[in-house]
């Protein structure tokens, strides 16, 4: 089935966020080690980024490594970091060819030196790209981000640079890692899990959620387009009534 041609370009989400889940189970089903699942997950990352750019999505945020993922066995964490370095190194040309800018959110200071260096190079090389921004959430958790934001705001209140009465939604947005991006309108999670797992808690306040049973390495361009079509069929009410929305 080809869903791409059914998509209405007038009703595209600007920003799609994805929890890429199920790599471990995918590998287990094949009698392989978990890292085999992550390695195959890279193909789905490439396909999804291409699919998003092709239809005109402006921001794609992928949850690649959570703060909690540091608690996985050391061997898996090391393998994931090695995979990340190799992938960034290999895919920078593809990003440039597709005019895609790479950025990151999260506590990237905690990543190994080699990872930070590879990321910094790719970010620098692609900073002029305009078609889409690919945001990798790395060593990211929403509670970490919100705590950080609150600490920075509190510091400014203490030194008189911010008045308590000035604290509103816009100000809090400014203190989050995502300050340069619009909030995602659509969040996709693969592998049949129906959880948000500490991902963009503030930013997903009004997002539509799309869950699929597909395990991440099996997630294809067409699966992405199917999610976009599902999103386009929904009525986004933002707390208003259906009648108010249709009269707008």
Query: Which residues are at the interface with ligand FPP (CB under 6 A)?
Result: 20-25, 38, 41-42, 45, 62, 64, 69, 83-84, 87, 136, 191, 216
For ligand FPP, the closer CB: 181 or 216 = 216
- Min dist CB 128 to ligand FPP, Å, is 21
The answer to whether residue 99 is catalytic is no
- Min dist CB 148 to ligand FPP, Å, is 22
The answer to whether residue 69 is catalytic is yes
Q: Which residue is closest to ligand FPP by CB?
A: 24
Other Cβ atoms within 10 Å of 161 Cβ, number: 10
Q: Which position has the token pair 């085999």?
A: 36
Listed in sequence order, the DSSP H helices in the chain are 23-29, 34-55, 74-97, 113-125, 142-158, 169-174, 221-232, 242-247
CA pair distance 201, 36, nearest whole angstrom? 30
- Min dist CB 18 to ligand FPP, Å, is 10
Take residue 20 and report the two structure tokens written for it.
């890429």
For ligand FPP, the closer CB: 22 or 184 = 22
For ligand FPP, the closer CB: 178 or 191 = 191
Residue among 79, 81, 77, 78 nearest 89 (CA) = 81
The 3-state DSSP class for residue 200 equals coil
- Min dist CB 246 to ligand FPP, Å, is 39
For ligand FPP, the closer CB: 64 or 227 = 64
Q: Which position has the token pair 């200071």?
A: 109
Catalytic residue set: 21, 69
């Amino acid at each position: 089935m080809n869903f791409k041609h059914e998509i209405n370009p007038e009703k595209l989400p600007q920003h799609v966020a994805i929890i890429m889940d199920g790599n471990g189970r995918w590998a287990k089903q094949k009698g392989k080690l978990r890292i085999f699942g992550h390695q195959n997950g890279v193909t789905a990352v490439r396909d999804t980024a291409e699919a998003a750019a092709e239809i005109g999505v402006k921001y794609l945020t992928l949850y690649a490594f959570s703060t909690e993922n540091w608690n996985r066995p050391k061997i898996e964490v090391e393998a994931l970091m090695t995979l990340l370095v190799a992938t960034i190194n290999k895919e920078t040309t593809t990003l440039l060819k597709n005019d895609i800018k790479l950025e990151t959110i999260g506590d990237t200071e905690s990543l190994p030196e080699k990872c930070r260096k590879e990321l910094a190079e790719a970010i620098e090389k692609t900073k002029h790209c305009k078609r889409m921004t690919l945001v990798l959430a790395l060593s990211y958790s929403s509670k970490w981000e919100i705590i950080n934001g609150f600490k920075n705001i509190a510091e400014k209140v203490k030194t008189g640079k911010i008045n308590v009465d000035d604290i509103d939604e816009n100000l809090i947005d400014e203190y989050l890692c995502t300050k340069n991006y619009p909030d995602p309108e659509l969040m996709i999670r693969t592998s049949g899990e129906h959880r948000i797992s500490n991902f963009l808690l503030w930013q997903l306040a009004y997002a539509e959620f799309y869950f699929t049973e597909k395990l991440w390495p099996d997630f294809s361009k067409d699966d992405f387009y199917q999610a976009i079509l599902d999103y386009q069929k929904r009525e986004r009410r933002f707390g208003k009534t259906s009648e108010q929305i249709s009269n707008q």
